[in-house]
Amino acid sequence: MLNSKTTLRKILLGFFLGLTVFIWCGVWAEERSGILTVAFLDVGQGDAIFIEAPGGKQVLIDGGPNKKVLRELAKQMPFYDRSLDLLIATHPDKDHIGGFPAVLNSYEVAVFLESEVLCKNSICEKLDKQIQDKGIEKKIARRGMVIDLDDGIYLEVLFPDRDATNLETNLASIVLKLVYGEDSFLLMGDSPKAIEEYLIFLDAENLAVDVLKLGHHGSRTSSSEFFLGATSPEVVIISAGKNNRYGHPHPEVLDILKKFEVKILRTDEDGTIIIKSDGAGFLGE
């Protein structure tokens, strides 16, 4: 008799747990209906960008310096969602990939995209082993590659346009343009001014965007006045750690931004920055 009651309790518990998950799935799907979410995660001195398309595809671009990225991801994803469609390492510096081992331990990842620049640090060695052991498909980013996220939503690779194996890591940063209808984002990794100028030379008309994630955390080595004029963003995102030892963002860059009268959002001051779009404008503005 006691066993039958215990079994009944387990059945009822399982039923209500399943019902709860089903309800939350419905709520989550309703909330993101037709909406693209781009979250610039507050991971301290580093970069991590989470993208969720209306249809549910999820991308994480960079993973910050450590496992803090897991806490920030948990705020953007429902507790039962333990998978990511695409992981992108713009380049293998620790402040961009340091959190990836923890991500791969906690989430199932379908595809890993990288620039193929040489990396011999311990984090890269660990990542390579995890990717191999888990059977994750690895792809190399090249200019012209277009990643379809949903109807009318895509990521376009603007750089590298060549074999990046022997480039310096910042020079090899993957540059991405995210487009949803009339709204667009340019994500610069840690690209320096030399790459900015090169992109203008290649295709200046393709650089005008609504949101620009500055290269290299607002360092003076990136974000030239020439480049800001070519991209003409309405909003600029700076991903940096509070009171970081590099002094990012540098005063010179902030002075240039003031000239262009753009809206500046900073993870060191604003925390995680979330921008939502329906393809015809940003919501909540």
Tens digits of residue pLDDT in 140-181: 999 999 999 999 999 999 999 999 999 999 999 999 999 999
Domain annotation covers residue 285: no
Give me the pLDDT at residue 12, please: 60
Query: What 3-state class would DSSP assign to 27?
Result: helix
Direct distance between the N- and C-terminal alpha carbons of the chain, in angstroms, rounded to an integer? 61
User: Both 210 and 85 in a single domain?
Assistant: yes
| Whole-angstrom distance, CA of residue 51 vs CA of residue 258 | 28
Shared domain for 10 and 143, answered yes or no, is: no
Q: Is the pLDDT of residue 253 over 90?
A: yes
pLDDT band at 18 (very low <50, low <70, confident <90, very high): low
Task: Evaluate if residue 23 carries a pLDDT over 60.
Answer: no
- Between 31 and 263, where is the model more confident? 263
Do 252 and 134 belong together in one domain?
yes
- For residue 2, pLDDT over 90 is answered with no
Quote the domain boundaries for residue 22. 1-31
> Is the pLDDT assigned to residue 130 strictly greater than 90?
yes
Model confidence at 17, in pLDDT bands (50, 70, 90)?
Answer: low
Region 97-115 average pLDDT: 98
In terms of pLDDT, which residue wins out, 285 or 135? Answer: 135
Edge to edge, what strands does the sheet with 211-213 contain? 146-150, 153-159, 175-180, 183-187, 211-213, 235-238, 263-266
pLDDT-derived band at 283, boundaries 50, 70, 90: confident
Statement to judge: residues 87 and 113 lie in one domain: yes
Of 220 and 4, more confident: 220
Question: Are both 44 and 25 inside the same structural domain?
Answer: no
The pair of structure tokens assigned to 170 is: 């910042």
**221 and 246: one domain?**
yes
Answer whether residue 113 shows pLDDT above 80. yes
pLDDT band of 33, cuts 50, 70, 90: confident
The three-class DSSP label of residue 218 is helix
What is the model's pLDDT at position 27? Answer: 47
Residue 282 lies in a domain: no
Q: Is residue 226 in a domain?
A: yes
- Same domain for 44 and 25: no
Report yes or no on 209 lying in a domain.
yes
* Predicted local distance difference test score (pLDDT) of residue 83: 97
Within 10 A of 3 (CB to CB), how many other CB atoms are there? 7
7 and 61 in a common domain: no
* Domain tally, the chain: 2
Inter-residue long-range contacts of 109-112, CB under 8 Å, 24+ positions, other chains counted: 109/83, 109/84, 109/134, 109/136, 110/83, 110/84, 110/85, 110/86, 110/136, 110/137, 111/85, 111/86, 111/87, 111/136, 111/137, 111/138, 111/139, 112/86, 112/87, 112/88, 112/136, 112/137, 112/138, 112/139
Residues 6+ apart with CB under 8 A from 163: 116
Distance of CA 125 to the CA centre of its chain: 22
Q: How many CA atoms lie within 13 A of 166 on its CB side?
A: 0
- Say whether both 2 and 102 belong to one domain: no
210 pLDDT above the threshold of 70: yes
Q: How confident is the model at residue 120 (pLDDT cuts 50, 70, 90)?
A: confident
Whether 283 maps to a domain, the answer reads: no
The answer to whether residue 52 sits within a structural domain is yes
- At CA 274, angle to CA 159 and CA 268, rounded to 5? 85
Hey, which residues does 265 pair with through a beta bridge? Answer: 237
Label residue 15 by pLDDT band (50, 70, 90): low
Mean pLDDT, the chain, integer: 92
Residues 13 and 76 placed together within one structural domain of the fold:
no
Residue 22 lies in a domain: yes
